[in-house]
Structure formats: C-alpha cells, structure tokens
Structure 1
Amino acid sequence: MLTRIHAGYFRISLSLCWETLLWKTLLDPTNNETKFLRHVPQMIYRPILIFLWSFALLVLVLLSLLYLLRCFFRFNLVKGEFLHHVGVNYLFAPWISWLILLESHPFIAPKHVGFKALWWVFAVPVIVLDVKIYGQWFTKGKRLLTAVANPTSHLSVIGNLVGARAAAKMGWQEVSVCLFSLGMVHYLVLFVPLYQRLSGSDRLPAMLRPVFFLFFAAPSMASLAWASITGSFDTASKMLFFLSLFLFTSLICRPTLFKKSMRKFNVAWWAYSYPVTLLALASTRYAKEVKGKVPHTIMLILSSLSVLVIIALLLSTALYSKMLLPDEDPSLTAKLPKQSSRIV
C-alpha cells in the first residue's frame, strides 16, 4: 500500500474539508441568505456540523498517517513525487486540508490561541514549498515554469490564499496581505502560459483531465481571501468570482474534454469536487453582498451541485474501492514532453 498511495490521494481530504466548510457556512444561523435551510432545528445544527467535521478529520488523519509511513519507509518514492511536475503540487494538499479543517472547526474561533498556534504548524510548510518550487521556476533550466506548468500548479497558489484567508480571520492583516500577494502574483504568472496553452495541456494524460477544474478554483479562493482581508465582498472579489464562474461555465460546456477520464474510476475524479465547492463558497459571499434572486439562485445551484458531486464520488469510491490503488497512477507516470529537455 505504501508504494501505491501518494500525495494525490489528499484530493479526497480536500473535498471533504471544503464541503464541511461549505455546510458550516450554509447552516450558520446568522447567514440571512440560507433561508432554505432555516427549517433545520437549531438543536441539530451543531451535531450535523460535528459529524461532517469528524468524518473529514478521520479521513485526513488516516491519509496523513499513511503518507507519514511512506516518508519513513519509502522515502525514495516521496523524493520522486517532489521531482515530478504533477506530484510535487499535491505536496501542498495535506497542509491545505489541515488549514481548511481548522477553519471549519465547530468550536475553535479564529482568535483562539490554539487556532493561531495550529495555523503556524500548517502554514509554514506551505511557505517552505513556495520558496523551493517558485525558486526553481526562475533559476533551474529544466524546471522553468513553461516546462513544468500544468493545472495542478494552481494548488501552490491556493495554498497561499487559504493561509491568507485564515490569517485575515485572526486579524493578522500584514501576514494575510503578504500571503495573498505571493499567491496572486504567481497565479497571474501561471495563468498566462496555461491559458495560452504554452504548456500544461500536453503534460497530462487523459485520466488527469479532471484537474482542469482547478482553473476556476484559484480565482474562487482568491475572491474569498480578498473578502476576508477587506471585510467585504468588494469589486475586486466580484471580479475574481465572475472570472471563476466564467471558467467553470467554459469547462462544463465541453464535456468531451473529460470523456476519456470518465471511462474508468480513478482517484483523480475527486478533483471535480473541491473546485465546485470553492465556487459555491464564493457564491455564498456574493449572495450575502448582493441581494436579489439571481445571486441567491446561483448560490443554491452551486451548493446543490457541490453536494451531489461529493455524494456521487463517495458512492463511486465505495463501489470501485478495488480500483482506488492502481499499480500505475497517471499522477506519477506522466512525463514531460521532449521539448522541455531542450530548455537551458
């Protein structure tokens, strides 16, 4: 098992943790935009949230322990992930999952000393990975951005934005702005070559095409982070939300792009879930800021879609559990094209 499991399996924890945060937002009795959930009795609000949070925690702890064992007993494989243009980006996933789970905790408030201490534990590894990976983009010939960029590279950006949002909730304004600027600058640098198809699209096998959903996950997270920093879902947040909504619409209007990836179950399917949940979270902030039927309808549709997607993935994972650990995973077998080796 230790030879087959890799950081890409933290897609599952990302989906569960973000879904928990979405339900925490929707079930919040102070949220005036979730009127369709007001019939939920106040007495079962916390039990529902505790159940979701506990389930996400259980899965995340299990994955973390397995990966920790892999680090001890199969370190050469972990090193291989770090050197792989797709696998390295999923090294951000465990830390993002822990940060999201911390933020969705039913009882610990952002101002609590425990929250602040744990933030440092989970955010520092993200910064360390930033220094290593971003540094390689402009200092190492064969690992230039145009040679290694692919949609999973958005995870490095999302890691910074998640840390920025949590820091803003704690009142650490300077830290949050620092992480936000770091994430957004590299998002702009990353977005251009990927959107122009200078790289990325030919770096991935068909089975990994669900990760294209990360195109709209990054601006969705950016809109949430900026709203937390400024205290309101202002024009900048709306622009990022509209961008993510446009990218989401563009992708779902091209189902043939994902046809080959849907022929056989793979853990990469979980990449469909958390970007949709992030977009749903952004829509809740938009609906809170902009009153009216249209924002409320968008929030309802995206939230419902998020729930349906994660239920479908849970059922698929249970039904095809034997296929969950394939002998060869495309996340680690995909190779760079020959043209990247000519970059000096």
Structure 2
Amino acid sequence: AKGAGLAEAGDGGTMLKASPAPSKPPRLVASRFAMLTRFHAGYFRISLALSGQALLWRTLSDRSTDPSALHPLVQSLPSAAFVLLWSLALLTLFALCVLYVARCVVRLPAVRAEFRHHVGMNYLFAPWISWLLLLQATPFLPPEAPSYHMLWWAFSLPILVLDVKVYGQWFTRGRKFLSMVANPASHMTVIANLMTARAAAKMGWHEGAVAMFAVGAAHYLVLFVTLYQRFLGSDSLPAMLRPVFFLFFAAPSMASLAWCSISMSFDTGCKMLFFLSMFLFASLSLR
C-alpha cells in the first residue's frame, strides 16, 4: 500500500510536471526568434555567388563576346538553364531579404549592433550588389527600358546612403580610426560603387558611371594602402572570415569590368587592373 501510495504520488508529480503543455508553442516561437538572431548579413554571400554566376553566364552567352572564349560551349547548353540559374539566384536573394527584414522587426538591437560592427557593416552592401548583378544579368529587361532605370535607382540609393555613413566615419573619427577598423571585408564598399558604375554605364548614363567609379577608385587606393601597411590593431578579422582576403583581387577585377563598360573597350587601363587582380590572386593563392 505504501508503494502504491508512492506510485500515485509519483504519478501525480509527473502529471503536475507534464501539465504545462501549452509551453511548447512559446518554445517554438523562441527557437524561430533564435534563428533570426543567428541570421546576419553575411549570409548574403550566397546570393552574391549565385548572382555572379548568372552574370557570368549572361556575359558568355552575349553575341558581343569574343567567339574564341567559351561562347560556343555556353551556346550548346539550353537557354532554359540560364533562366533557371537566374531564377534560382532571384529566389535565393528574395528569401534572404525577407529573413533579414523579419530580423529587423524582431531583433532590431542585433541589427543595430551589426550596423555598428566594423566587419558586419560591410556586408550590408552585399544584398544591393546582388540586386545590381541580377539586374545586369536579367534576360527579360533591356538596359534602355525605363523600368531598368527605376530599378537601378532603387538599388543604388541604399549604396549611396551606406557610402555616406562609412566614408563619413573615415573622415571624422580621427586619423587612427580607419587603421583600426579597416579589414579585407571593407572591399565590399568599393565593389558596391564599382558595380553601380558598371550598371550605370550599361544603361547609357556615362556621367553617373564615371562619378561612381571615381568614388570607388579613390577609396580603394586609401583602403589598399591602409591594409598594406598593417597598422597595429588592424588585424581584427575573425578566423572564420579569413576567406574574405580574396576580396583583395575582387576589387581591381570589378574595376576592370566597370571601366571596360565605361570606355566601351578593353583598353590599357582595363588591362592594368586585370593584371593587378591576377597578381593579387596569385599572391593570395600561394600563401
């Protein structure tokens, strides 16, 4: 009887412990919020890769491309494959943007912390770079269309706003501020300006393309010299982000493409930037 009483007491205790069943939905909601907390702008690297591949495919399939390149190989593939790749990049970028907007609503303090972080701030340029890549690679919209111009403004204005914020800090926070916060991920700001210049050149706006190229080139020189000198405290990049060192050759290669679109020819300046990017790529690969 005593054992039965203990069993009943144990069952009652179990029932009392198991009674708060409605606590599962809050846990589920909390887990979803935790996912939004772990999500950050660095995930837009996925959309950057897919959008870059879509633009590469579009460039190789263009009739103005040198026939001695991979043009015959790309032409042998079905055209639906390029549309599928472009659609996949678009859906991926749209999904990432929706997640980040949800993070801004639910985890606004985390977004503010990322906005102030010397590494995370640079990845806020990544979604707008991805949109500009997809805009230039789109098979459905010619650069002369008014909607193309409207989309260019929609994707370029956030880059200009972020430029004012980032470069304003470089100018006003003291002479040692840039040397303390500069890191290889800072090349994202330069690449965003150069990508904007290339898109402007494609739609025929020569002055806007030259202006954005000048801003990007000027700050690339400052950033390159700062990173090359390696001031004390500038080596503040986490170990998991070491692959962003390859952005060293992404900036001059993007500058080569942008200037080629502006000058309408692969002239000496484009070749200089291209060979510089190849040299930096070889240097990083051997290290």
Confirm whether residue 237 of structure 1 aligns to residue 270 of structure 2: yes
Quote how far apart the aligned CAs of 1:129 are.
Answer: 0.3
Report if the CA contact (8 A) 2:60-2:70 is conserved: no
More helix by share: 2
Counterparts of 1:55 and 1:205 in 2: how far apart (Å)?
Answer: 30
Confirm whether residue 102 of structure 1 aligns to residue 135 of structure 2: yes
TM norm structure 2 = 0.84
1:208 paired residue among 241, 248, 267: 241
Quote how far apart the aligned CAs of 1:170 are.
Answer: 0.8
Confirm whether residue 25 of structure 1 aligns to residue 25 of structure 2: no
Aligned to 1:16: 50
TM norm structure 1 = 0.71
Quote how far apart the aligned CAs of 1:138 are.
Answer: 1.5
Classify the secondary structure of the residue corresponding to 1:3.
Answer: helix
Quote how far apart the aligned CAs of 1:106 are.
Answer: 1.0
Percent identical across equivalent pairs?
A: 61
Unmatched segments (≥5 aa) in structure 2: 1-34
Quote how far apart the aligned CAs of 1:81 are.
Answer: 0.5
Report if the CA contact (8 A) 1:26-1:34 is conserved: no
Residues 255-294 of structure 1: pairs in structure 2 closer than 5 A:
none
Pairwise CA RMSD of aligned residues? 1.7
Residues 167-182 of structure 1: pairs in structure 2 closer than 5 A:
167-182=200-215
Label 1:189 to 1:145 Cα distance change in 2 as closer, same or farther (>3 A). Answer: same
Counterparts of 1:40 and 1:174 in 2: how far apart (Å)?
Answer: 33
1:94 alignment partner AA: P
The ranges of structure 1 where at least 4 consecutive aligned residues each deviate by more than 6 angstroms after the TM superposition are none
Task: Report which of the two structures shows the higher radius of gyration computed on alpha carbons.
Answer: 2
1:197 paired residue among 230, 246, 251: 230
Residues 11-160 of structure 1: pairs in structure 2 closer than 5 A:
11-34=45-68, 36-38=70-72, 45-141=78-174, 144-160=177-193
Confirm whether residue 217 of structure 1 aligns to residue 250 of structure 2: yes
Cα deviation, 1:28-47, whole Å, max 9, x if unaligned, reads 344233555525556x5431
Classify the secondary structure of the residue corresponding to 1:203.
Answer: coil
Report if the CA contact (8 A) 1:220-1:244 is conserved: yes
Counterparts of 2:70 and 2:148 in 1: how far apart (Å)?
Answer: 31
Aligned to 1:162: 195
Higher RCO, 1 vs 2 (CA within 8 Å, ≥6 residues apart): 1
Quote how far apart the aligned CAs of 1:72 are.
Answer: 1.1
1:38 alignment partner AA: P
Unmatched segments (≥5 aa) in structure 1: 255-344
Label 1:206 to 1:41 Cα distance change in 2 as closer, same or farther (>3 A). Answer: closer
2:56 alignment partner AA: L
Label 1:198 to 1:251 Cα distance change in 2 as closer, same or farther (>3 A). Answer: same
Quote how far apart the aligned CAs of 1:141 are.
Answer: 3.8
2:281 paired residue among 248, 261, 284: 248
Quote how far apart the aligned CAs of 1:85 are.
Answer: 0.4
Report if the CA contact (8 A) 1:23-1:49 is conserved: yes
Report if the CA contact (8 A) 1:24-1:49 is conserved: yes
Counterparts of 1:85 and 1:212 in 2: how far apart (Å)?
Answer: 15
Counterparts of 2:218 and 2:92 in 1: how far apart (Å)?
Answer: 33
Counterparts of 1:10 and 1:138 in 2: how far apart (Å)?
Answer: 28
Label 1:142 to 1:6 Cα distance change in 2 as closer, same or farther (>3 A). Answer: farther
Report if the CA contact (8 A) 1:3-1:70 is conserved: yes
Cα deviation, 1:51-77, whole Å, max 9, x if unaligned, reads 110000011001000001111111111
Report if the CA contact (8 A) 2:193-2:216 is conserved: yes
Quote how far apart the aligned CAs of 1:200 are.
Answer: 7.5
1:26 alignment partner AA: L
Counterparts of 1:125 and 1:202 in 2: how far apart (Å)?
Answer: 28
Report if the CA contact (8 A) 1:86-1:150 is conserved: yes
Report if the CA contact (8 A) 2:61-2:75 is conserved: no
Report if the CA contact (8 A) 1:167-1:173 is conserved: yes
Aligned to 1:7: 41
1:111 alignment partner AA: E
